[in-house]
Chain A
């Protein structure tokens, strides 16, 4: 095991400096309200040589986006359209002619593959079972037995609401890590992030055992959503906060330490090495009220799919899209630090796009980039946009 307390402390302080330029642009983005993040102690297994498939993976900085208005009609996702979109996007990402060959870049027959879904906004905005089924088909096409494919998340009850159990193919197991709130039985006691953010009694967050020892590869299926504390929830947050327990403690109104905790968690081994591909589900874009809102007025049927191996680049593009939609809807930027936008009233937040519960922390994306997880500089991102074709 490696103790990375000093390493993480150092990068947290360095990461803070990255944002001063942005914060300096407007009084509404003033940073002086945000307390500094405490040091984070990471306990993780020693890795002699990092896998080239691990984040940022085989294609750092490359994001393939494909949109098709036929992919979601009357709130129903079309599996046949998804199949075409996913295959085309993967071929573009990998530079291959054939979908099976594309999948074989990431998984091999001996793998035990976990598909990390995001059911937290179920049923209105969660990883579409149709996309999950197509990923299962792709992984299976390479020769991975269906019995060696798991669809998983931390919370079994959220998985229930999404009906994933019924909808995934025979043989595929659906796993909820926690069978009770704050239960630790599904977590690895030897791999954890430790920090005291607000004086909480439990200062450790443990890695899910299915990630540490149950899987050899992970395919991440985040959704495209605003997040009241993190700014957006995309590849990084779905992986980090969906792998470790006891993460709600990182935000207490109005403050949030999702930056730096999200990036730190994503950098912990073996999560970093096992997460080889990200398929972002933008069928429904939740541009306010995330991650849990069911309010239809904030859910836009964008019909977008994005694929990549670099979670930072993908989340950077996602952030741009959420920002653009919020601008179009005349909602404040997720970068806003205006205290007047804060509310203690959850009901108000879920109805009013000008209100928020926290000072959002979209900086977590660039901070994860600073940890080597990917590229956050838009000018360096190879963003390829494919039409419905």
Chain B
């Protein structure tokens, strides 16, 4: 991976959403703009000069990150709602009919596919040679990255709309019946399960042996990754679907009431809060000293104090996470527009 790559939802397997420090520079212009086939409800990912965008039209499109020109397009049998993940020359993507595809990232050729038969909205993630993803049938799946063969699956009891995260030998995911699970990545054994009060569709983040996760019960939770014990929780005005991002001692998250907050990751105390006007369902992304968030309008905020540094009204409905590279910021709108800003 090079400095400019952004290989999966919120950048890395811990869903930290963070990148090495770089100075803030407001985008000055649009490098290019294009439109892919179908609505886009997922985030773009970037690797080796190619930007990958998945759409409700069932297309996975690879665009030249410098020009926006289409390099290849793969058509799945069903709409794609999840954000693709990139690993070892492959694009992993799940479609709504429960199929996991492994696509050659250079050519767009399909390497293998695995069909679960259950609707799948969560993004696949790759760790230790295994692809993990959950579905609407309440099962978590582990699949051999090289062959596409299933390694294990585990029934969790509630729909899995949350993208899992992996830290070491542990996998964490939330479910629609309000539970947070920690599982062994090798066996799928459930190591602990902690209930919240309402369903979960936010994806967890892990930092310093603490799991951060939003719930539709209006609380952001910090849990001990070893035991699942709740270290602290913070109440928002409405449910939390937006996945938190962690950087240093700050955890940043948005809630459906349109409030973006930064909390002290150790204590759960409020550091700053910034109202953004529209419901926040997309995750914030931290790049150095800047927080990016899209809730209709695209905002860049100062990580330290939450002040708005820059904003742009690019499309009517931007609700996905941006991908941030050294030379550009890549955004998708619901209508299928893809922007490269520099």
Contact = CB atoms under 8 A, between A and B. Distances in A.
A134 to B, nearest CB: 15
A108 interface: no
B5 interface: no
B137 A170 contact: yes
B27 to A, nearest CB: 25
A343 interface: no
B238 interface: yes
Contacts of A166: 158-159, 161-162, 175-176, 199-201, 216
Nearest to B137: A170
User: Binding site of B, secondary structure by majority: helix, strand, loop or mixed?
Assistant: loop
Contact of A160 (B41, B136, B159, B218): B41
B79 interface: yes
A120 to B, nearest CB: 12
A165 B239 contact: no
A167 B177 CA distance: 7
Interface in B234-284: 237-239, 241, 256-258, 278-279, 281
A123 B199 contact: no
Nearest to B158: A170
B138 interface: yes
B319 interface: yes
A195 B56 CA distance: 30
Interface stretch (A21-29, A173-181, A314-322): A173-181
Interface residues of B, number: 40
Given A166-B216, A170-B137, A161 B161 contact: no
Interface residues of A, number: 21
B56 A180 contact: yes
Given A157-B41, A180-B39, A165 B56 contact: no
B56 A179 contact: yes
A165 B39 contact: no
Interface in B126-159: 136-138, 157-159
A161 B238 CA distance: 12
Contacts of A75: 218, 237-238
B159 A170 contact: yes
Find the residue from A122, A161, A167 having the highest chain B CB count within 10 A.
A167
Contacts of A180: 38-39, 56-57, 335-336
A160 B39 CA distance: 13
10 contacts: A75-B237, A163-B161, A165-B159, A165-B176, A166-B162, A167-B199, A173-B136, A179-B79, A180-B56, A294-B279
Interface of A: 75-76, 122-124, 129, 156-157, 160-161, 163, 165-168, 170, 173, 179-181, 294
Nearest 8 CB-CB pairings of A with B: A166-B176, A123-B256, A179-B56, A166-B201, A166-B199, A166-B161, A180-B39, A167-B199
